[in-house]
Chain A
Amino acid sequence: MKNKILPFSVIVIFGIIFFIFYKGLEDSKIYTPDVNIKKEIPVFNSKEFFSGENVKSLSIFELDKFYLLNIWSSWCVPCRQEHPFLMNLNLDNEVNIIGMNYKDNLKNAENFLKELGNPYKEIFIDLDGTIAIEWGAYGVPESFLIYNNEIIKKYIGPLNQELVNEINLLIK
């Protein structure tokens, strides 16, 4: 009896793996934001990216303006894909893009901006990832659309043209 448990459990494990892959196929690859909507933004203190001076979240986000908080990192490959869209979004200037530099090496991050351009109005540093946790972020890249100190929409994963169009609609 004992030697039947092993094959049985192996088959069950592979069955579960099959099921998960199957569900993974069904999932559309378009990210649907359904969490953290209409939530007050957290209050935090951090350092400014270029100057290294202390900044408070209250001084970054003003009322009655649209902000896009973008969590990025130089080591994150999808951030590279996303960056041109941020650059384009920045051209319209109707939304202020704020960068949160996540668990990064500052030199690499600066080089990243030098190479691909800097779309951010302001960047602050989240060296150990704690601020991102307070925001409820899962990883990089991630973007939060903010109005009146409230998160209106959350985008997990890299932005693309479709999402940029959506953002443009929302801020009109």
Chain B
Amino acid sequence: MIYSLIGYYSLIIGLIIGLSLFYFSYKNFKNSNILDTKILSFTFLQLFFVVISFLCLIFSFVISDFSNETVFNNSHTSKPLFYKISGTWGNHEGSLLLWLLVLTLFIFLFLVRTKNQPVKYKILTLVFQQIIIVGFFLFLIKTSNPFNYIFPIPTEGLGLNPILQDPALAIHPPVLYLGYVGSSIIFSSVLAATSLKIISTSWASHIKKWILISWIFLTLGILLGSIWAYYELGWGGFWFWDPVENVSLMPWLALTTLLHCILVLEKKSILTSWVIILSIATFTLSMCGTFLVRSGILNSVHTFANDPERGLFILVFLFILIFLSILIFFFFHKDNDRKSYSFFWLSKETAILINNWFMMYFLSVVLIGTVYPIFLDVVSSQKISVGPPFYHKLIIPFLIPFLLMMAIGPKLKWIKSQLEDKIYLVSFLIISILLAFLVLKNFNQNVLINTILISSALYLFFMTLRDFFVKKYKNISQNIAHFGFSLLILSILFNNLFATEIITNLKVGETFENSKTKIVFESVDQKKEQNYNAIIANFFISNQNGEEDRLSPELRIYNQPVIATSEADIKTTLMSDKFIVINLVQNQDFFNVRYQVKPFMLWIWLSVILLSLGGIVSFLQKRS
């Protein structure tokens, strides 16, 4: 009760501070030798009040204060403390408060950490960021107040959606948001730098750190979501091309491209248009994602809130930001690239530029696949569903030149280059092709496209692996990231090609047997936990190599709200995952059993961690 009041009024104060910051910025901008200390302290105060508000919501969840509507809708006294806390951001209102928290946190850190940049630039960045912040304050207070009061006070809450009661998913939103919303600071500072025409090499190395932070968190956030989907949704896959997954992938693609552009800009002072457009695109894609998920315009496993009023607000706000950035871009930005610089065909920047275009292609495929069904529905009231085959067919073939370019590009020099050491470049390629051919031949998977694809992934793998020993840590971060990426593609490919699956119906005591695997359904246990009851099925599985495993998947029936979920049991080893999940078949006494052996599953996760490690190393490196 008291927490709701404090939380709500903190939000109002935060909004007022945001508005007053416009005034101070205006005054300071006219007369700008030093940054006004008032601006810094007011930005801090704004952050402080948002933190207070956020803590109040957490406390309301912890003490199960059901006079608060958000808590009533999303919590229950019988939930473990951990999920009471994570329930704070597991719903629409709380997650928007988290948005706001990240927005205010980043602008404060930006003002504190930015040195050696013009004062006007700092002020203008603050102004653009405050536009976003004030927009979200209004959105939160007007349409999705997390502190709504209900009377009479209910004695019990409605509970948290059980598929969200999971440790990976509890930390997934904060990590993802740090990346997702963190890109707002890139957006604001690019608009500021464009308006002041100060985009230069020194600006590039200053903004690079912020891009890296967003990129690292976004990568890890997507990873966590993917791991969660792998063991919780129970279909044995890790990426479903679901619209909500796509909206996190799109900013990632834009941000990755931006990261490479900023490297070129830092060295050569070219590709400024790319940098500006990509910075704008990254954040607007994040906003667009929020719009798609929160408005209920698309139906997906993740869309929990359906409210057209909220959708309209975000939509209008999103397009105000888009039009603002278009105006700034066309009004202030004069592109000098073409006059002063011509690309030599064999150089590092050309390689980066080529792969940028590939990235843009991948981005458009994902964008069209996600948004086109909505467009078609509106324009012609036709409904279509776009599934994995669409994405696979359009993306996979283009990975081949993309991977090859990734392997060769870093070997080239800036400006103008010649291919030295041609022998090892070619010999590595031949080795990769032979190896890919042998592997696939062995497993009777001899399709031409697979051979070429695995060859090019192996090529990148060997090239980056070699550099760990040869290059003497000259560009270790790039090498780790590219190595991670080659490992990721290889793991995904092998995972898809060599996965085996058995689906069968079994009663307790029955045995399934084929030439390779024997599955014994030994027994069924029951378990009672604080927030659910579970049926545990015990399986004994042996294969022809003499490996024996005991796996116990569960069916859980959560009490608040009453929803049944199936928990897979997964045995992870270095080389493969054994994955088993059971489902109850209606009105039958047998269980549907799905057993999968998925090779290199662990390597998919590890390679993404490597990928982000590359980013972390780059972040920690001192400027040379």
Which A residues have a C-beta under 8 Å from some C-beta of B? Answer: 6-7, 10-11, 14, 18, 20-27, 29, 31, 75-78, 84, 87, 111, 114-117, 138-140, 156-157
Contacts and interface: CB of A to CB of B under 8 A. Distances in A.
Contact of B378 (A20, A76, A139, A156): A20
Nearest to A88: B586
Interface stretch (B192-200, B260-268, B322-330): B322-330
B383 interface: yes
B379 interface: yes
A75 B315 contact: no
Contacts of B509: none
B387 A75 contact: yes
B308 A25 contact: yes
B312 A114 contact: no
Per DSSP, chain A at the interface is helix
A76 B326 CA distance: 38
Contacts, number: 83
Contact of B586 (A23, A117, A138): A117
Contacts of A138: 382-384
Contacts of A26: 308
Given A29-B299, A75-B387, A77-B387, A18 B319 contact: yes
A25 B379 contact: no
A88 B504 CA distance: 22
Contacts of A76: 385, 387
A18 B326 contact: no
Contact of A22 (B240, B301, B312, B383): B312
Contacts of A29: 296, 299, 306
Contacts of B312: 22, 25
Contacts of A140: 385
Nearest to B296: A29
Smallest CB-CB A-B distances: 5 pairs? A7-B330, A111-B503, A139-B384, A23-B378, A18-B319
Given A77-B242, A84-B586, 5 more contacts: A26-B308, A76-B385, A76-B387, A77-B301, A139-B384
B323 A24 contact: no
A77 B233 CA distance: 12
Interface of B: 240, 242, 291, 295-297, 299, 301, 306, 308, 311-312, 315, 319, 322-323, 326-327, 330, 374-375, 377-379, 382-385, 387-389, 501, 503-505, 583, 585-586, 588, 592, 594
Nearest to B581: A115
Given A20-B375, A20-B378, A117-B585, A31 B315 contact: no
A11 B385 contact: no
Contacts of B388: 75
* Residue from A11, A21, A117 having most chain B Cβ neighbours under 10 A: A21
A27 B311 CA distance: 12
Contacts of B382: 138
A23 B311 CA distance: 11
Contacts of B311: 25
Nearest to A114: B503
B383 A157 contact: yes
Given A14-B319, A18-B319, A24 B297 contact: yes
Given A115-B503, A115-B594, A22 B315 contact: yes
A45 to B, nearest CB: 26
A42 to B, nearest CB: 19
Nearest to B284: A14
A25 B295 contact: yes
B326 A7 contact: yes
A30 to B, nearest CB: 12
Contacts of A157: 383
A114 B553 CA distance: 18
23 contacts: A6-B330, A10-B330, A11-B323, A11-B326, A20-B375, A20-B378, A21-B297, A24-B375, A24-B378, A26-B308, A27-B377, A27-B378, A29-B296, A77-B242, A77-B385, A78-B299, A87-B586, A114-B503, A116-B583, A116-B585, A117-B588, A138-B383, A157-B383
B205 to A, nearest CB: 30
Contacts of B383: 31, 138-139, 156-157
Contact of A21 (B323, B374, B583, B588): B374
Contact of A115 (B377, B379, B583): B583
A10 B389 CA distance: 31
Nearest to A16: B375
A22 to B, nearest CB: 6
